[in-house]
Amino acid sequence: MFSFDSIKKYHAFLANDPNGCTIAVTHYLSQINKNKGLNAFINVYVEEAMQQAAVLDAKRTTGNSLKKLHGVIIAIKDVICYKDHEVTAASNILKGFRSVYNSTAVQRLLDEDAIIIGACNCDEFAMGSSSENSCYGPVLNALDETKVPGGSSGGSAVAVQAGMCMISLGSDTGGSVRQPADFCGVVGIKPTYGRISRYGLIAYASSFDQIGIFGNCIDDIEIALQVISGPDEFDSTAIQELPKSFSSTENSTKKYRIAYFKEAIEHPSLDKEISSSIGSLLNKLRSDGHQVEAVEFDLLDYVVPAYYMLTTAEASSNLSRFDGVRFGHRTKGPVADLTEFYKRTRSEGFGKEVQKRILLGTFVLSSGYYDAYYSKAQKVRRLLTNKIGDIFKDHDVIVLPTSPTTAFPLGEKMDDPIAMYLADIYTVFANLTGVPAISVPLFKHSNGLPFGLQAITNKQDEVTLLQFSQLLMQQYKTYQHLKKNE
Ligand code: GLN
């Protein structure tokens, strides 16, 4: 029976098995098939993946050294363009649309001989925190199918959680990689804004959007990040400089200067057990010689409102391209004029949550309200960026919960959008300020579900982020593996 632990061990296995990639793809396809009910995949590229595996198995006989992602089986969120494959953002408005080019991230994966096994379900246009806003129906959490997997990249998280791929890509505009990673018990990273090119990522809120990676271990995240990061002539916001390597090899003697926000750990919305687990972890880190310090943070209650003002404003502009004229769904109904054509097409094509956000975004940008809402939210964003800059003058890392609760029941928050939005309290901060952040699966709740710790470092300092995460995984993880019914 094939089993996967890490890319490194998989490559060692391939060295001794001439049919290794084929064996691996066969295994993952059967896992996907077995777990169909979780609804994590929208499309599975069965024949293609098998063909690619055969090509790679043959390639190894030439004796050349393996490329970095040789035969690594990867799933991508359905907002990331893969040439000649359907990409829909889980929306009726894009059903049947095939991408005409590769996103830079996908191109770089393919250039390193990765095998893309399928496209993952998610919230429509990445708007949501539970993967329930999808035109394909909700994704289920593999550890407890009555619970959500988190969102919006829920399918990508479950694909790793339930062993349906080795690593996966998601997108994170306000927590959509970290929060599902937290709910599913896997690692999820959102790199610095601009670290990974957004070319070919369907836009939600362009000044926040960032591709992120799910995996089982930090080493795999490091390899994938190394491959897909870097400048790109197709994305002018992509960061020009790259570290020599993203080495996560932990310097075991390093003592970190760790900041935490008392306001966050003591926030009334935070589950008591999550709060106390993080508290004990901080005590342990302190007694192990790290400097752990509470930093005052009085802006916490402004982050969610600012995030939803700014992202909906950007979304209202970004989503205006879906007009039924150039691509995607087009209304069949009789229409009197062009305005009615647009109205009908968009009302039929977009789901409720997306419509709500377009309306909200249009409102906050409208004259008369712009200064009261949009400009004010921009000012909050500036204050947060200044604040985080100050904190990183004296600290290496900030730790926070990833989410106030563990995975919640399906349907629980669907009628209460404010509750759904407020649950993004700990993750949106990193997107508003552009810094890299990760959710590391360290804990198990007495309700049986996993939860993670969120770590954040300064802009462009993924190296410290990965090294600190490695330390947490190796020395502070409180359980080993969480499988269904354990
Ligand atoms: N839950 C947040 C939202 O609904 C984050 C989404 C995301 O990161 N794509 O906007």
DSSP 90-153: T-GGGTT-B-SS--HHHHHHHHTT-EEEEEE--SGGG--SSS-S-TT----BTTBTTB---SSS
In CATH terms, the fold of domain 7-228 is Amidase signature (AS) enzymes (3.90.1300)
H/E stretch holding 32 reads helix 20-34
Name which of 257-266, 276-285, 331-340, 471-480 the model is least confident about.
471-480
Q: What percent of the chain has pLDDT over 90?
A: 93
Could you tell me if the CB of 172 is within 6 A of ligand 1? Answer: yes
Could you tell me if the CB of 127 is within 6 A of ligand 1? Answer: yes
Name which of 241-245, 255-259, 303-307 the model is least confident about.
241-245
Q: Parallel, antiparallel, or unpaired for β 257-261 and 450-456?
A: unpaired
Arithmetic mean of pLDDT, 345-374? 97
Arithmetic mean of pLDDT, 274-300? 96
Can you tell me whether residue 426 is helix, strand or coil?
A: coil
Catalytic residue among 171, 176, 403, 439: 176
Active site residue 152: yes
Ligand 1 atom nearest 153 alpha carbon: 9
Ligand 1 atom nearest 205 alpha carbon: 9
Q: CB-hemisphere CA count at 13 Å for 30?
A: 8
In the structure, what pLDDT confidence band is assigned to residue 247 with cuts at 50, 70 and 90? confident
Do residues 135 and 92 lie in contact, with contact meaning Cβ atoms separated by under 8 Å? yes
Q: Indicate whether 338 pLDDT > 60.
A: yes
Tokens (6 digits) for 184: 């599913």
The b/e string for 439-471 (b: 16+ C-beta within 10 A; e otherwise) is bbbbbbeeeebbbbbbbbbbbbbbbbbbbbbbb
The CA distances from residue 333 to 94, 96, 406, in Å, are: 18, 19, 44
Active site residue 77: yes
Q: 127: closest CA among 289, 397, 316?
A: 316
Tokens (6 digits) for 262: 């008392």
Distance of CA 470 to the CA centre of its chain: 19
Arithmetic mean of pLDDT, 20-49? 98
Identify the pLDDT of residue 333: 85
Identify the pLDDT of residue 484: 55
DSSP-assigned states of every residue in 155-203: HHHHHHHTTSSSEEEEE-SSSTTHHHHHHHTSEEEE--TTSB--TTBPP
Could you tell me if the CB of 126 is within 6 A of ligand 1? Answer: yes
Tally of CB atoms within 10 A around 40: 30
H/E stretch holding 74 reads strand 73-77
Task: Name the residue of 78, 121, 152 whose CB sits within 8 Å of the most ligand 1 atoms, as the mutation to test its pocket.
Answer: 152
Q: Indicate whether 460 pLDDT > 50.
A: yes
Q: 31: closest CA among 154, 150, 148, 161?
A: 161
Identify the pLDDT of residue 485: 47
d(CA 30, CA 13): 20
Ligand 1 atom nearest 424 alpha carbon: 1
Q: What percent of the chain has pLDDT over 70?
A: 98
Identify the pLDDT of residue 480: 65
| Amino acid identity at 232 | D
Could you tell me if the CB of 176 is within 6 A of ligand 1? Answer: yes
- DSSP class of residue 288 equals T
Could you tell me if the CB of 129 is within 6 A of ligand 1? Answer: yes
Identify the pLDDT of residue 193: 98
Q: 125: closest CA among 181, 203, 199?
A: 203
Identify the pLDDT of residue 486: 46
Arithmetic mean of pLDDT, 358-385? 97
Do residues 203 and 229 lie in contact, with contact meaning Cβ atoms separated by under 8 Å? no
Do residues 213 and 175 lie in contact, with contact meaning Cβ atoms separated by under 8 Å? no
| Amino acid identity at 6 | S
Q: Indicate whether 253 pLDDT > 90.
A: no
Catalytic residue among 129, 130, 152, 153: 152
Q: Indicate whether 254 pLDDT > 50.
A: yes
Helix 218-228 with 462-475: angle, nearest 10 deg: 160
Active site residue 176: yes
Q: Indicate whether 160 pLDDT > 90.
A: yes
Q: 345: closest CA among 93, 94, 58?
A: 93
Q: Indicate whether 240 pLDDT > 80.
A: yes
Sign of torsion, CA 316 317 323 326?
negative
State residue 229 phi and psi, 5-degree precision.
-75, 170
Could you tell me if the CB of 204 is within 6 A of ligand 1? Answer: yes
d(CA 429, CA 308): 12
